[in-house]
Structure 1
Amino acid sequence: MKPKDKYEIISELAKRRGYFWPSYEIYGGVSGFLTFGPLGALLKRRIEDKFRSFYMRPLGILEVETSVIMPGEVLEASGHVESFKEPTVECIKCQRKFRADHLLQEFGDMTDTETEKLGLQAVMDEIGNRDIRCPECGGKFSKPEQFMTMFTTTIGPYSDAVGYGRPEAAQGIFVEFKRIFESARERLPLGVVQIGHALRNEISPRQGPVRLREFTIIDVEFFLDPENRKCDRLDEVENEELRLIIAENKLKDVTEPVTVTVKEALNRGIIKEEWLAYFMALAKKFLVELGVPEEQQRFIEKLEWERAHYSVQGFDQEVYLDRWGWTEVSGHNYRTDYDLSRHMKASGVDLTAFKESESGGKRFIPHVIEPSFGLDRLAYVALEYAYTKRKNRTLLSLSRDVAPVQASVFPLVSKDGLPEKAKEVYLMLISEGFVVEWDESGSIGRRYARADEAGTPLGITVDYQTLEDGTVTLRDRDSWRQVRSEIDNLSQRLHGYFRNKLDFEGLGELIER
């Protein structure tokens, strides 16, 4: 029997422990939709909060929330109606439809760089030449057609009021730029983020949380003066190393990344914009903090015909996954003034900024640097890289600041006043703002194992010694070491621990085994 890969293992664990599972299971399920359970929803929220503290607060980035449904004219102006299409083929035998370029990549040994530049006739020729058949029934395919990958709807009772489910959160920021800019006292540079749902009507999503029809996106739009694009925080990251597959090497089929510092990448013109390089370095560091080593990350430059219609330079950040290999988790693009110019022209509304000069000043359209992340992918990546085994036990070694539940509270046994004392500790921690779980079912060993598999960093056990001296046992998920800590200062120590200001040994007196 073929051994399970990590995706299969993580998926089974995720269902069992309440991280995620396919949506609408009782009706047979619908591919491309995923339900995040109690732990999964918490994990996503933790990653969001970490993103806010890591990216937003140091740079003073503002957050907005705009509508998911967009009027047709917005996405016509942005170019999405024209460009958001993919080649699709239909199986003549079973009538299932598939994205043609993905078939060529999965079964035809072609790269995305090779398939990106193929027209519909060339796609058909390649499928025929490589004898690619339907992966479901083995049937032959029809001629490829372009398929609109945005969800279409009507707004209100009027059939001519066409709307779309937004394929990205960015457009909501661009169309509201005037109001946001005014509320921010017309300062540049100005960062604006939106974290919310996006919709893409994927043709044949078959990659679980990696390719969804409804997903959570983090779009940061960083507006700046096109005549002053210097990054004033570059010294913070200029010595950070990035693993890059650059455009000229892609054209030579060189897939081994070059490792360069941010400073070197800018000096050599590999990365053309300082703020683009800055955000790429932050993205690398952010993934490291989610548990992904640097050597399991890379940035791959998009060739001209691969880039989105709005981008003049772009890099995808990729992480290596057990089943799917190198997988995109974020995109970094220099969008220039493309979006604001298009919306300004289509709406007739002035979206320029003004700057003073000796001659009296002038108006200009701000340029945009965009980092964009898929939150669902980040959550899955964190789970896959956290998965480990210790003495035949499954552990999720999630970093303490993204683990959904921070601690589990256990009475050693369900008698002699221990449950009552443990409940006091449990309620005290909740009142202090911690996310804790109560578990008194089964042996203490089984309860530890359940918490380890769920990724909970700490186990707090109330035992007979607790009744004598007011201390509890704290158990570390990863090392299984234990310390004794006084209940009276437990909250203070835990706050330090979860803010990464204390290590485990700082929580109490080590219990020697």
Structure 2
Amino acid sequence: MRRVLYLARSRTYQKMTARPARPVFDKEQLDSLLSRRFFVAPGFEIYAGVAGLYDYGPPACALQANIVDQWRKHFVLEEDMLEIDTTIITPAEVLKTSGHVERFADWMCKDPASGEIFRADHLIEQVLEARLKGDKEARGESVHESPDDTKKRKAKVKPLKLDNAVKSEYEQILAKIDGYSGKEMGELIVQYSIRNPVTDKPLEAPQEFNLMFDTSIGPTGAIKGYLRPETAQGQFLNFSRLLEFNNNRMPFASAQIGKSFRNEISPRSGLLRVREFLMAEIEHYVDPETKSHARFNEVKDVKLCFLPKDTQEAGKTDITELTIGQAVEMGIVDNTTLGYFLVRIHQFLVKIGITASKLRFRQHMKNEMAHYACDCWDAELQTSYGWIECVGCADRSAYDLTVHSKKTNRKLVVRENLEQPRVYHEWEGQINKKVLGPKFKKDAKAVEERLLAMTQEEMERASQTGSVSFDINGQTFTLNSEFVTFIKVTRKESVREYTPNVIEPSFGIGRILYSLIEHSYWSRPEDSQRGVLSFPPIIAPIKCLLVPLSGSPEFIPIVKHWAATLRNIGISNKVDDSSANIGRRYARNDELGTPFGITIDFQTVKDKTVTLRERDSTTQIRASEIDICQVLQDLTGGKVTWEQVVQKYGEFQGQSLD
């Protein structure tokens, strides 16, 4: 009879436990929850705080630790990566060589009247989007702003009426906003009368601003340094050691999780744009001749949502849905290793609770491509701030290893023994140094370096014409056969030496964490003030709540026993034995994202059974200690779903907890 009852319940389970339709997303309500429950707080708050610096409270710390733990399992363990930890303080010479000192910058514009600074692309985006919405009110920002900032943000001006042609122009600009140069953004600011949204005062032309925090190393300050803007350079500098550790086998990947720092121009987007943040980066080293991945066939049929560069350059944002196999075959995604990691990134984000329909991959346009990249895709997540880049996946080619090798005269290469020696013909320049030196004197070294850097095509042309010409620092040098001759030689190669290319997935953990919070947040339809964070059990800060039905002394030893038992099997838990009613206690912990709750009641005293409540559906089962412990291990390990648990044990309806 009991089995029949359970079957009847399971048939109607979907109807009973399906989560109700979510109300309209309320950002102010979520911000209030994050502040009230100490997920996050402004850094140095009692000293009035500093924009772009935040402290994580206990729930966010645990959530971040669980996200990082899943990242390690999903990438480092499953992909057999080599994890390292390199220093944060970086000598200036390293970042000068990598190009960051010269190029790691954003464009800012200043209001000369107030001194306020804006990031140019964000300001253009903000103003045009607001005009499209019918007013010039800035997008809602975090409740963690100072009162003055909030007052400025909420200042309104007279609404603008736009005709269809202007709206179309705005939409095209927004589609291409990431591809504009500083000069082009300055022209847009003038053309569309973009001013300070609060004071309506004109702005100066955009100026470049390097985002790195500088420092000095040692007591004399003689060694200039920077706080690293990314974790990648430390991995590249250790390439030879990593290759040796990997028994000189290719391909392989290194990984690093650590803090990075960027001196953001105008951090106005809460946790999404901060000056100190946690990154998780992978450097996957591949053979430049193939760039293939051995496991690509495992993922080739997975569909992803793409926003290619051609679409953006046409002023559109239409999504193209393709399998990754199709995207690589069509040349949209450059190679199978890049494609493989796009899928693995997608799988990871969905696994930790990101809503798949709010995830897309946007390709970088030519003007926005990083100086080191030949192709790059961003995993963007849709939030109340719009589409936000949370993961970058770039093909860095051989740029970093090449520039560091050239600067240090240390070979950062792979040497591969060939089964069949390669025989090939190439041009070689033979320099007559006895004539070259006296002729060019102080310029002789620069001329010799330029000759040694000649390409095969340049040498072939020079052999045909009998001379070669080139410019060095604005001066033209012409050399005939008296100084250099070019001959074709035959070489036999038994060992192939090459500089590997690098595919780099780079994760902004803080941005992922905040986007996950938004994607997980909803409120009970019967009470819009009852917020719920539906974190998947594998990353929830606290896995299980222990709730004694009352303050009865009989429950005290049972609660202590359960807390110790759950800790011993690796289930994080919290006891709530306050005087609030049991529904209120569960509601408080729904706000923290706690997925499960155990109620200890008078039946527990009699037969040691307890009820187990699931957060989203608020349904329960009742079972013994052994069964509940096993169920919790399976649920928090992702081995079973709550639906499967209810089908097995049946829904318990003996008491209402809500």
Map residues 19-30 of structure 1 onto 2, 5 A cutoff.
19-30=39-50
TM-score with structure 1 length normalisation?
A: 0.95
Q: In the alignment, is residue 245 of structure 1 matched against residue 287 of structure 2?
A: no
Residue correspondence of structure 1 range 450-489 to structure 2 within 5 A: 450-489=588-627
* Cα root mean square deviation, aligned: 1.8
Structure 1 CA distance, aligned partners of 2:177 and 2:77? 40
Find 1:380's aligned residue among 514, 527, 544.
514
Equivalent position of 1:13 in the other structure: 33
Choose which of 559, 572, 576 in structure 2 pairs with 1:439. 576
Secondary structure of 1:335 counterpart: strand
Which residue number in structure 1 is paired with residue 406 of structure 2?
A: 345
| Bigger CA radius of gyration | 2
1:171 deviates by 1.0
Q: Which AA in structure 2 matches 1:444?
A: I
| Partner of residue 276, structure 1 | 338
Kindly indicate whether the alpha-carbon contact (under 8 Å) linking 1:451 and 1:459 is maintained by their aligned counterparts in 2: no
Indicate the SS of the match to 1:249.
Answer: helix
Supply the AA of the counterpart residue of 1:229: K
In structure 2, distance between residues paired with 1:10 and 1:314: 33
- Residue of structure 2 in register with 1:234 after alignment: 296
Q: Which contiguous aligned blocks of 4+ residues in structure 1 show a shift greater than 6 angstroms?
A: none
Q: CA deviation at 1:63?
A: 1.1
User: Aligned partners of 2:207, 2:360: CA distance in 1, in Å?
Assistant: 33
- Residues 321-374 of structure 1 show CA distances to partners (whole Å, capped at 9, x for unaligned) of 1x2111111111111110100111111111111111022212111110111111
* Counterparts of 1:8 and 1:200, CA distance in 2: 27
Kindly provide the CA deviation profile for residues 465-484 of structure 1, in whole angstroms up to 9, marking residues without a partner as x: 11100111111101111111
Q: Distance in 1 between matches of 2:111 and 2:85?
A: 41
Deviates more, 1:108-117 or 1:68-77: 108-117
1:355 lines up with 2:400 in the alignment? no
| Correspondences of 1:62-461 after superposition (within 5 Å) | 62-108=82-128, 109=170, 110-111=173-174, 113-114=176-177, 116-120=179-183, 122-321=184-383, 323-357=384-418, 358-359=420-421, 360-390=494-524, 391-392=526-527, 393-441=530-578, 442-461=580-599
Q: Letter of the aligned partner of 1:512 in structure 2?
A: Q
Deviations 1:24-68 (A, max 9, x none): 111112111111110101101111111111222121012111111
- Equivalent residue of 1:305, what SS? helix
In the TM superposition, residue 4 of structure 1 has moved relative to its aligned partner by: 9.2
Partner of 1:501: 639
Aligned to 2:132: none
Deviation at 1:490, TM superposition (A): 3.3
Q: Which residue of 1 aligns with 2:164?
A: none
**In structure 2, do the counterparts of structure 1 residues 377 and 85 end up closer, same or farther at CA, with 3 Å as the change threshold?**
same
Q: Name the SS of the counterpart of 1:221 in structure 2.
A: strand
Distance 1:394 1:115, change over 3 A: closer
**Greater Cα shift, 262-271 or 129-138:** 129-138
Q: Per-residue CA shift, 1:450-476, capped at 9, x if unaligned?
A: 111110000111110111001111111
Structure 2, unaligned runs of 5 or more: 1-22, 129-169, 422-493
The secondary structure found in structure 2 opposite 1:14 is helix
State whether structure 2 residue 653 is matched by structure 1 residue 512. Answer: yes
Q: CA deviation at 1:134?
A: 2.1
Query: What SS does the aligned partner of 1:21 have?
Result: strand
The 1:300/1:132 distance shift into structure 2, 3 A limit, reads: same
Residue matched to 2:11 = none
Residue 125 of structure 1 deviates from its aligned partner by 3.4
1:143-195 CA-to-partner distances (Å, cap 9, x unmatched) read 43211110011111233311011111111111111122212212211111111
Query: What residue is the counterpart of 2:438 in the other structure?
Result: none
Alpha-carbon distance in 2 for matches of 1:384, 1:445: 24
TM-score (norm 2): 0.75
Count of equivalent residues: 509
> Partner letter of residue 180 of structure 2?
K
Change over 3 Å in CA distance of 1:437–1:448 after alignment to 2: same
Cα distance in structure 2, aligned partners of 1:4 and 1:159: 55
Quick one: percent identity of the two aligned structures?
A: 35
Unaligned runs of 5+ in 1: none
The structural deviation recorded for 1:205 is 0.7
Q: Structure 1's 114 and 383: CA in aligned 2 closer, same or farther, altered over 3 A?
A: closer
Contact 1:234 1:274 in 2 (8 A): yes
